[in-house]
Amino acid sequence: MSKFHQGRFHPRNPEKYIGDPNNIIYRSSWELHFLQWCDRTENVIKYASEEFSIKYVSPLDNRVHRYYPDGYIIYKDKNGVEKKCIIEIKPYRQTQEPKVPERQTKTYINEMKTYLLNQAKWKYASEFCKDNGVEFRILTENELGIKPYGRPRTRKVSKKKNK
């Protein structure tokens, strides 16, 4: 069983979807949240999820790979101007370079690999967008208005009076 929320998204407005609206896959609850927002937001004219790829060179193996952005939207901004944007959805912590620990751990090595791969993908995506007149945005829990993964919950502790 996967530890992340995954499944198929069934839009209420399938005519807005670019691609097959019967085959929309989401790989996290955050992607589902984004798809729901696209489907119900009036200013979003069209949207897609992982419908195309951008080639990039991985810094880990120096080979060409394909990057499938999480989303693509055509929308009207607050001035009514139509814009196009490629969207990537990631936890904020994956957008920041990991802090070097006192000793190299597997967790640190994995976090650094993830960070380096993301940076490479986003560099190529930014270049692709610049060449094609498209915006590129990375959405984190901050922009999505979602509580981040791994943050400990705080509980109120009631103080009993001594009698």
Enzyme catalytic residues: 31, 70, 90
Cα(139)–Cα(142) distance, rounded to whole angstroms?
Answer: 7
Cβ within 8 Å of residue 114, ≥6 positions away: 94
The pair of three-digit structure tokens given for residue 124, joined into one six-digit string: 């190529």
